[in-house]
Amino acid sequence: MVNIFKKVDNSSQLETDPLLGSKAEIQPFWKKSWFIICMVILIVVVFSTIILYVFYHKNGSLNDIHHVESKENAFTFNATTSSDNPVNVESNENVVTYNGATSSNNSVNVEYKSYPTSRVSSIATTNGDYFKQCAPAVTCNPDDIYRTYNGSCNNLQNPNWGAALTPFYRLMNAEFDDGNNTFRVQLDGKPLPSARQVGVTLFYMRDIRNYDHANNELLVPWGQFLTHDISYYPDDIRNDSTPAHLDHCFEKDKTKIPIECETAILIAADDPVYSQYNVSLFKFVRSTTSVNFSCPLTPRTILNRNTQYIDASHVYGSNKKTADGLRTFANGKLRSRILEDEEYCPQNADSEFKDGPLGKSDVQFAAGDVNVNQNLAIALFQNLFLRYHNHLADEIQTLNPSWSDERVYQETRRIVGAIIQVITYEHFLPILLGDEYMKEYGLTGQTTYDPSINSALAQEMTSGAFRAVHNIIPAKFNLISANYSIIDEVEPSRVLLQPDLLIGNFDNMLRGFLDTPGRAVQPSYNNLITNVVFKIPNLDGYSGFDLMSYDIQRGRDNGLPPYNKMRQLCGLKKANTFKDLSDLISSEDIETLKSLYSTVHDIDYIVGALLEKPRNGSMVGPSTACVIGDSFYRFKVGDRFFYDILGQPGSFTPEQIKSLKKITLSHIMCASSNLGHMQKETFRYVDPKIMSSIMYSCESYKLDLSPWKEVQ
Ligand code: HEM
Ligand SMILES: *[C@@H]1O[C@H](CO)[C@@H](O)[C@H](O)[C@H]1NC(C)=O
Ligand SMILES: *[C@@H]1O[C@H](CO)[C@@H](O)[C@H](O)[C@H]1NC(C)=O
Ligand SMILES: *[C@@H]1O[C@H](CO)[C@@H](O)[C@H](O)[C@H]1NC(C)=O
Ligand SMILES: *[C@@H]1O[C@H](CO)[C@@H](O)[C@H](O)[C@H]1NC(C)=O
Ligand SMILES: *[C@@H]1O[C@H](CO)[C@@H](O)[C@H](O)[C@H]1NC(C)=O
Ligand SMILES: *[C@@H]1O[C@H](CO)[C@@H](O)[C@H](O)[C@H]1NC(C)=O
Ligand SMILES: *[C@@H]1O[C@H](CO)[C@@H](O)[C@H](O)[C@H]1NC(C)=O
Ligand SMILES: *[C@@H]1O[C@H](CO)[C@@H](O)[C@H](O)[C@H]1NC(C)=O
Ligand SMILES: *[C@@H]1O[C@H](CO)[C@@H](O)[C@H](O)[C@H]1NC(C)=O
């Protein structure tokens, strides 16, 4: 294997990177006495862990195994550092009385008894406008046993519900200053604080260098893979003119100010990273709207270009043309190509993104979703499922030699969609939300189809709640070889749009996600993803952006209600003063919020979502869990093709459902890579060296396909 990654050399490259600024420590960490002490502690902990494990955990429970962090940190090797952020606590504040200012630890008094057990229902008044004014007429065949490509005809009474190119669902009315389009302003009429300013003041250098004690990094590629199944809404025309172009934003002559400036994100002169780059604005392009599809709705309405069901549309395409383009039309298989003796997605001849940060990428994958090449993790998963489809199609065809290409393709497509649902509901969501929320939001047990439920993706989910999970994206992805040594590492923020790097590294990347503990849940993004995303080296000036600023600004662009309204929607107490947030947010953070926002009613949803203390057993706070829970409830009971629904023309048989329920991500990986041994709980971190006894041979992860054999 040719190693194409440049080894990140002891982090020294990062430490001297001017972007990381003065905060970075220059002396190598391994020479520091605290590091030596940490290593000694680490060794002691590891040894006592092994002993404890051997004596008490023969059944493989991992709950008590704690990993002392050492590797992720590129910025400051401060094991539990937080809050050396440049907080301005000069409160130019007003009305709000606050008596907790002196207590500055991060404890929050949380009582978790009174959260809602009912599902959220939409209170948006414009939800149906598209269907009244713009929806196409569709004729459905109620006896179809397979999903349509664009998701139409899933709901027979409302055939456009959840289809591609229909609007996101709104739980609450859109919030725009003029009611239709312009960004929300604060209650006192002032503009909202700059998204970058909010990010820097609350979250900069707040990385907590702890690993997730139970889970590996796979939650990240799975979360993004799932996102791309249900969501795609691109920006308006990307203008590739250089950032210098934004100089014109400050023109005195207002007619010369380019449109991009309207929503550009202001960067303060004392910004800890960008001040050195002379960059005072991030370009931010608003999402396209229904106007771009000849449907001029108000308020601003955004169409989802992927189907809004969990149906593997990112593998197959959200319309017939894309789907056909990806098929071989022989034996039910998808087009693919062999590179370095392994199977990969076909080449996308007209990809719009050819130049990644590390140069031109000759490899451009084509898949059902156009974001397949965004980063190596999503590229890995798209390729994983391409391989899996072709593997499964082979088996189905062998089992039923008389079946046509169409039948094998559709049956395989149906099973792949079902498998994504099984992994999501049985394995992923219980970790993300925890068992209590799973029950409260009706996400467990046998599904009963409810045609009154619109399964479309909520705007509050895709522009807010689900993005809060960006907080577990690690600073680095490891590449781990067959003998479990880390042979390389890549920064996801720097290898965007470089899918060529996947070739020859497929198994090593998979092992990297499996065998590296995840980033601990915390109220911050890693310092790289929030500062240097898409940075293109060797370009004059600065060309990157900040994912957190974008997430905050996107919420405003998409008209999300502020945090306080989302709290109420979720059945939490409405905050009348900043102090009322102390049920879920630390007093330190409340002080910082006061310095940024005029009133407690102005806080952006994602900002509150990131600061909320998660409930025990969950990775997200209550006002995030509520929107995620509601969304996955609707994806379940509002999907006529949901895998365990009975009595529909497209239902699986009870034997097939039984077989599907046993599927884990380990099965998919075993079938589509050269990994030989896997743990049962694929998302759990299992140290392959210490705990190899609970990693079973791939032979034990087969899908029992016998219920798919047609009996004549
Ligand atoms: C390496 C990992 C990831 C990277 C580099 C990444 C990056 C991005 C970027 C650049 C955007 C568009 C931002 C904008 O312009 O508004 C985005 C959107 C989004 N991300 Fe991520 N993300 C990652 C993982 C995840 C994960 C793990 C989740 C959730 C579990 C997630 C959920 C979302 C959602 C819901 C959106 C909006 C959906 C859409 O654009 O259609 N992402 N992400
Ligand atoms: C950790 O961070 C704190 C606060 O910034 C600082 O005072 C301390 O010196 C740091 N410790 C180490 C070991 O770097
Ligand atoms: C946090 O502050 C509270 C009240 O001020 C105090 O009782 C508690 O011991 C503190 N916790 C920590 C971990 O410092
Ligand atoms: C979905 O596909 C059907 C069949 O091709 C088509 O008639 C319909 O217009 C599409 N729906 C939307 C919202 O574009
Ligand atoms: C918002 O849209 C409505 C309905 O199209 C229109 O009557 C109203 O004038 C618009 N308001 C603004 C400020 O554009
Ligand atoms: C990008 O912006 C420049 C300057 O405003 C303009 O001349 C150019 O046409 C724009 N490009 C696109 C693709 O809109
Ligand atoms: C920074 O910007 C100022 C004003 O736009 C300019 O005079 C100066 O040359 C720039 N410095 C660098 C290093 O680009
Ligand atoms: C989308 O619509 C807006 C508003 O009419 C227009 O300015 C923009 O150019 C359109 N973008 C595309 C990609 O058609
Ligand atoms: C593990 O594999 C890598 C590359 O495949 C090799 O360089 C290394 O020497 C191996 N290490 C051990 C301990 O076998
Ligand atoms: C959190 O949940 C775990 C398992 O459900 C339980 O053992 C533990 O006591 C809980 N911790 C708190 C602080 O409630």
Ordered DSSP codes for 247-281: GGGG-SSGGG--GGGGGPEE--TT-TTGGGGT--E
Average pLDDT for residues 408-436, to the nearest whole number?
Answer: 98
Please count the helices (runs of H) and the strands (runs of E) in the chain: 20, 14
Please tell me the predicted confidence (pLDDT) of residue 533.
60
Please tell me the predicted confidence (pLDDT) of residue 214.
94
Pocket mutation for ligand 5, best pick of 298, 300, 301 (most atoms within 8 Å of C-beta)? 298
Band (240; pLDDT cuts 50, 70, 90)? low
Band (466; pLDDT cuts 50, 70, 90)? very high
Residue 219 has pLDDT above 90, yes or no: yes
Average pLDDT for residues 363-383, to the nearest whole number?
Answer: 95
d(CA 164, CA 154): 12
Band (147; pLDDT cuts 50, 70, 90)? very high
Q: Is the CB of 285 under 6 A from ligand 8?
A: no
Helix axes 547-557, 195-203, angle to 10 degrees: 130
Atom of ligand 9 nearest to the CA of 483: 1
Please tell me the predicted confidence (pLDDT) of residue 694.
84
Higher confidence at residue 654 or residue 59? Answer: 654
Output the CA 257–ligand 2 centroid distance in Å.
45
Q: Is the CB of 227 under 6 A from ligand 1?
A: yes
Q: What is the pLDDT of residues 288-308, one digit of tens each?
A: 999 999 999 999 999 999 999
Pocket mutation for ligand 1, best pick of 212, 217, 222, 224 (most atoms within 8 Å of C-beta)? 224
Please tell me the predicted confidence (pLDDT) of residue 691.
83
The number of residues making up the chain comes to 712
d(CA 480, CA 261): 44
Close Cβ partners of 64 (under 8 Å, ≥ 6 residues apart): 49, 52, 56, 57
Rounded-to-5 percentages of helix, strand, coil across the chain: 40, 10, 55
Higher confidence at residue 691 or residue 335? Answer: 335
Please tell me the predicted confidence (pLDDT) of residue 45.
65
Least confident range from 152-156, 370-374, 643-647: namely 370-374
Average pLDDT for residues 587-605, to the nearest whole number?
Answer: 98
Pocket of ligand 10 (CB under 6 A): 616-617
d(CA 687, CA 45): 14
pTM, two decimals, is 0.84
Average pLDDT for residues 120-128, to the nearest whole number?
Answer: 89
Atom of ligand 6 nearest to the CA of 248: 5
DSSP string, 24-49: S--S-GGGSHHHHHHHHHHHHHHHHH
Average pLDDT for residues 33-58, to the nearest whole number?
Answer: 60
Please tell me the predicted confidence (pLDDT) of residue 106.
47
Close Cβ partners of 681 (under 8 Å, ≥ 6 residues apart): 427, 664
Q: Which residues are registered as beta bridge partners of 347?
A: 365
Residue 317 has pLDDT above 90, yes or no: yes
Higher confidence at residue 642 or residue 251? Answer: 642
Residue 348 has pLDDT above 80, yes or no: yes
Please tell me the predicted confidence (pLDDT) of residue 136.
97
Output the CA 78–ligand 2 centroid distance in Å.
6
Higher confidence at residue 32 or residue 614? Answer: 614
Q: Is the CB of 86 under 6 A from ligand 2?
A: no
Residue 9 has pLDDT above 70, yes or no: no
Q: Is the CB of 272 under 6 A from ligand 6?
A: no
DSSP string, 130-155: HHHHTPPP----TT--S--SS-TTSS
Output the CA 83–ligand 6 centroid distance in Å.
41
For the beta carbon of residue 672, count every other beta carbon within 10 angstroms: 22
Average pLDDT for residues 439-458, to the nearest whole number?
Answer: 95
Closest ligand to Cα 182: 5
Residues 403-415: b if buried by 16+ CB within 10 A, e if exposed: bebebbbbbbbbb
Pocket of ligand 9 (CB under 6 A): 481, 483, 485, 487
Q: How far is CA 81 from CA 105, 204, 522, in A?
A: 13, 12, 12
Percent of residues, the chain, with pLDDT higher than 90: 66
Band (349; pLDDT cuts 50, 70, 90)? confident
Band (13; pLDDT cuts 50, 70, 90)? very low
Cis bond upstream, residue 299 (ω within 30): yes
The first and second tokens of residue 650, run together, are: 């497209």
Please tell me the predicted confidence (pLDDT) of residue 358.
61
Please tell me the predicted confidence (pLDDT) of residue 534.
55
Output the CA 262–ligand 7 centroid distance in Å.
22
Closest ligand to Cα 25: 2
Angle (nearest 5°) at CA 559 between 188 and 87: 55
Q: How far is CA 207 from CA 61, 454, 534, in A?
A: 28, 38, 20
Short-list 478, 475, 471, CA closest to 524: 471
Band (495; pLDDT cuts 50, 70, 90)? confident
Contact of 495 with 356, CB cutoff 8 Å = yes
Identify the helix (H) or strand (E) that includes residue 199: helix 195-203
Closest ligand to Cα 294: 8
Phi, psi of 142 (to 5 degrees): -65, -15
Higher confidence at residue 81 or residue 250? Answer: 250
Band (541; pLDDT cuts 50, 70, 90)? low
Contact of 130 with 290, CB cutoff 8 Å = yes
Q: Is the CB of 107 under 6 A from ligand 3?
A: yes
- Which positions are catalytic? 228
Residue spans of beta strands (DSSP E) within 481-601: 486-490, 517-519
Residue 311 has pLDDT above 50, yes or no: yes
Q: What is the pLDDT of residues 177-217, one digit of tens each?
A: 999 999 999 999 999 999 999 999 999 988 887 888 899 99
Contact of 466 with 628, CB cutoff 8 Å = yes
Q: Is the CB of 292 under 6 A from ligand 8?
A: yes
Average pLDDT for residues 310-327, to the nearest whole number?
Answer: 98
Closest ligand to Cα 243: 6
d(CA 283, CA 550): 10
Least confident range from 87-96, 233-242, 325-334, 353-362: namely 87-96
Band (101; pLDDT cuts 50, 70, 90)? very low
Residue 515 has pLDDT above 70, yes or no: yes
Short-list 257, 259, 265, CA closest to 237: 259
The first and second tokens of residue 191, run together, are: 């503009």
Residue 108 has pLDDT above 70, yes or no: no
Q: Indicate the DSSP class of residue 262.
A: G
Pocket mutation for ligand 4, best pick of 152, 303, 316 (most atoms within 8 Å of C-beta)? 152
Pocket of ligand 5 (CB under 6 A): 178-180, 298
The first and second tokens of residue 166, run together, are: 């229909």
Average pLDDT for residues 555-574, to the nearest whole number?
Answer: 96
Output the CA 107–ligand 3 centroid distance in Å.
7
Please tell me the predicted confidence (pLDDT) of residue 36.
63
Atom of ligand 2 nearest to the CA of 32: 13
Output the CA 320–ligand 4 centroid distance in Å.
9
Residue 67 has pLDDT above 60, yes or no: no
Average pLDDT of the chain, as a whole number: 84
Please tell me the predicted confidence (pLDDT) of residue 78.
22
Least confident range from 76-85, 587-596, 609-618: namely 76-85
Band (119; pLDDT cuts 50, 70, 90)? low
Percent of residues, the chain, with pLDDT higher than 70: 79
What is the residue whose two structure tokens read 């759990």? 684
Q: What is the pLDDT of residues 574-587, one digit of tens each?
A: 999 999 999 999 99
Residue 113 has pLDDT above 60, yes or no: no
Band (646; pLDDT cuts 50, 70, 90)? very high
Rg (CA), the chain: 25
Identify the helix (H) or strand (E) that includes residue 624: helix 622-637
